[in-house]
A and B are shown apart, each in its own frame.
Chain A
């Protein structure tokens, strides 16, 4: 009975794993193609050909690329992401805290942004083509059109410098009390919310408007349901799949796309970490972060796919 739906879900997950493997190859190949290597980066201008060769030998850079790939992949699968070349620290350990920080920030931004976007979308549909709709759409469009660093600096200027409500630099540390932590992330979370809000809200509006043309919406209106009840009970459930899709894309963005915002607010998350190590040409770190970002992206999209499958009554309740 439930086999078609389970099969579809298993298919999606298998595809996701395959895709992740393919991406790991790409990430590995990509970092190999980059000019220069870690040895050169470590030794800098003073490198002599002999010292370069020695260091490469030491770091295992002379092995053929495919062997190094399988070593790396084997390590990743057992939870060993290698050691950072620049600092000699274990990557998995240093990433753990960073990843936690990024997820913390993304979580609170999402908690605000997703319901707000969907509610604004519903309101925009309810008053479609009226001034409320135009105001919501206009503000949303404006907030996506501003680059995120601009929004970030604007927030810093008003809330940190002028009114001094929130700190300009979002320092967090282990064992920080929850309240202080929330205060620290207030500004970056607001910036992220503003960035992703518009996209989700506009997609919600478009998806529901699309469904509003359906005959069953007319049926609901002819039962005497209020305009908002028609949208909530009859239009929204049928627009859920595209909405989940765009929500997941934006959640993924909150995790993997936060580089700029993290740098502006000096927030110790994955983005900062990545940027730091790209400048140091620390290939293992870049690879590890890239892979984690890809995994996040793919799993959120799998969740979106599965949610869309489950939301479809034809698949949930076959004939």
Chain B
């Protein structure tokens, strides 16, 4: 930020960018909404700017504007995007095609979806380089192999011969980074590149990306909603909200001395005080030595798992994807009958199969899912959705039912006005609240929460966690809380089970599980959670005792 430097022309200079889209609300005339309101930014060669904000903040939209790209009918209607000294918005379609994949490359959130399943990785990695004619195929492939090696992919010589489905998610994300680097661009737009990964994999990918950026001197726009992640890789951070600039400054200033209230809220988002309850005398639900498998006993996904749940308390089940957390929920609810072992409820065994359980048992166990919007019938109103369990379990009808629905809406801090709304008219957090109300309507003893906050923005997720804790206090309901996010666990759990490859590797009260000495896996899991501290990444990588499984 020295005076001499400020005069050199930046690589990317976005001035008063305005982006609009036309929306078609059902039953209304189409209207134009503004997604980005006159945002300006500059990025020097070889620097990394983090764009941070919740969903709808316009971060991806701004990032993609540097390639002249608008997703799904989004239009750039004002301002200038000056890249390498020229306004790319004046270049037209041909101009965009020439810069995409050559001057600016893109790394998507889900590499698993962003690679074409029909082509080999190498063909896709070198495609842009060959298209723009910056290298011959042999040169490009050599460059790609070197990049695979730099990004510490296994078998760098041969991994390019594979198809996307033959490679794990964390590896694909790195191959995608190699793909972006292969045509030696000046700028890469990273759009939430580690969000879809497990924490233990995220840390590897993050450090690979960071090294690659450092060694190739490429500039980057790093888009994420996770401040702790962006603090590890970027030189500067820009906080956005509702398409407007909130705050822009050096990384240290943003995370240590935020000047805006909203930034401060983002920085301090995860902290909910929740004091642990001691387990009661007897658990009401016991899972004993349960082994479960898919494919007729072929693939064992749960091995000899035993946990207890006490009335009105929360058992958190943590682990990375594929560790068997959701399968445990499926075994308890009877969706996947266990091969061995039993589930006892109130001192009597529960039938293994869902179809063999009486209605009363079904009522006692309710579920809430990660994707609230697909867990609701889009053609039913909120009133119908919440009223359904009231009718089904208690035979409530008419005014009695409506009164109870209104009470439930009140409990989830949503007004009566929502009764006639459809799910599509609700925000993500509101949808999840409706799902909570629907499960509460059955007056269950246990609600199984499967990654219920994972798809939500941090502030919204926080609201949901607080709501769940309040409800637990009033309704004395117990939770089986499945998550991969350790911060959430700290805020809500009374006891914790850590799962790894189908087994419970650590189990006990929250304080016991989170107090050292740790076993190797719990240590890996705990040390992989990004902390909002500069230099955390290097320290964490250095201190690791085992490699993550997702690699």
Chain A residues engaging chain B, CB cutoff 8 angstroms: 214-216, 218-226, 234, 237-238, 313-314, 317, 319
The answer to whether residues A224 and B115 also contact, given A219-B108, A317-B163, A319-B165 and a CB cut-off of 8 A, is no
Q: Which residues of B contact A216 (CB under 8 A)?
A: 113-117
Q: Which residue of B lies closest to A216 (CB)?
A: B116
Are B128 and A223 neighbours in the complex by a CB distance under 8 Å? yes
Q: Which residues of B contact A215 (CB under 8 A)?
A: 108, 110, 113-114
The minimal Cβ–Cβ distance linking A176 to chain B, given in whole angstroms, is 44
Annotate B71-106 by CB proximity to A: 1 below 8 A, 0 otherwise. Answer: 100000000000000000000000011111110011
Q: Tell me whether B511 is interfacial, beta carbon within 8 Å.
A: no
Chain B residues engaging chain A, CB cutoff 8 angstroms: 67, 69, 71, 96-102, 105-106, 108, 110, 113-119, 124, 127-128, 131-132, 162-163, 165-166
Are B69 and A222 neighbours in the complex by a CB distance under 8 Å? yes
Are B69 and A313 neighbours in the complex by a CB distance under 8 Å? no
Q: Which of A214, A223, A313 contacts B101 (CB 8 A)?
A: A223
Q: Which of B71, B116, B162 contacts A219 (CB 8 A)?
A: B116
Are A222 and B119 neighbours in the complex by a CB distance under 8 Å? no
Q: How many A-B residue pairs have CB under 8 A?
A: 72
The minimal Cβ–Cβ distance linking A114 to chain B, given in whole angstroms, is 20
Rounded to whole angstroms, the CA-CA distance of A215 and B107 in the bound complex is 11
Q: Which residues of A contact B101 (CB under 8 A)?
A: 222-225
Q: Which of B71, B99, B165 contacts A313 (CB 8 A)?
A: B165
The answer to whether residues A223 and B131 also contact, given A313-B163, A313-B165, A314-B165 and a CB cut-off of 8 A, is yes
Rounded to whole angstroms, the CA-CA distance of A220 and B124 in the bound complex is 9
The minimal Cβ–Cβ distance linking B354 to chain A, given in whole angstroms, is 30
Rounded to whole angstroms, the CA-CA distance of A238 and B119 in the bound complex is 10
Are B106 and A224 neighbours in the complex by a CB distance under 8 Å? no
The answer to whether residues A313 and B118 also contact, given A215-B108, A219-B108, A222-B101 and a CB cut-off of 8 A, is yes
Q: Which residues of B contact A220 (CB under 8 A)?
A: 116, 127
Q: Which residues of B contact A214 (CB under 8 A)?
A: 113
Q: Which of B106, B116, B163 contacts A222 (CB 8 A)?
A: B106
Are B100 and A221 neighbours in the complex by a CB distance under 8 Å? yes
Q: Which residue of A lies closest to B72 (CB)?
A: A213
The minimal Cβ–Cβ distance linking A108 to chain B, given in whole angstroms, is 31
Which 3 residue pairs spanning A and B have beta carbons closest together? A223-B101, A224-B100, A215-B113
Are B166 and A234 neighbours in the complex by a CB distance under 8 Å? no
Are B117 and A222 neighbours in the complex by a CB distance under 8 Å? no
The minimal Cβ–Cβ distance linking B285 to chain A, given in whole angstroms, is 37
A-B contact pairs, 23 of them (CB 8 A): A215-B110, A216-B113, A216-B114, A219-B108, A219-B114, A219-B116, A221-B100, A222-B101, A223-B100, A223-B105, A223-B131, A224-B102, A224-B132, A225-B101, A225-B131, A226-B97, A234-B119, A237-B116, A313-B165, A314-B117, A314-B165, A317-B163, A319-B166
Rounded to whole angstroms, the CA-CA distance of A238 and B132 in the bound complex is 24
Chain A CB count within 10 A is highest, among B67, B71, B127, B132, for B127
Q: Which residues of A contact B118 (CB under 8 A)?
A: 234, 237-238, 313
Are B119 and A219 neighbours in the complex by a CB distance under 8 Å? no
Are B131 and A224 neighbours in the complex by a CB distance under 8 Å? yes
Chain A CB count within 10 A is highest, among B67, B69, B96, B165, for B165
Q: Which residues of A contact B71 (CB under 8 A)?
A: 218
Are B97 and A224 neighbours in the complex by a CB distance under 8 Å? yes
Rounded to whole angstroms, the CA-CA distance of A224 and B134 in the bound complex is 13
The minimal Cβ–Cβ distance linking A257 to chain B, given in whole angstroms, is 32
Are A313 and B117 neighbours in the complex by a CB distance under 8 Å? yes
Q: Which residues of A contact B117 (CB under 8 A)?
A: 216, 238, 313-314
The minimal Cβ–Cβ distance linking A293 to chain B, given in whole angstroms, is 34
Q: Which residues of B contact A221 (CB under 8 A)?
A: 69, 100
The minimal Cβ–Cβ distance linking B435 to chain A, given in whole angstroms, is 26
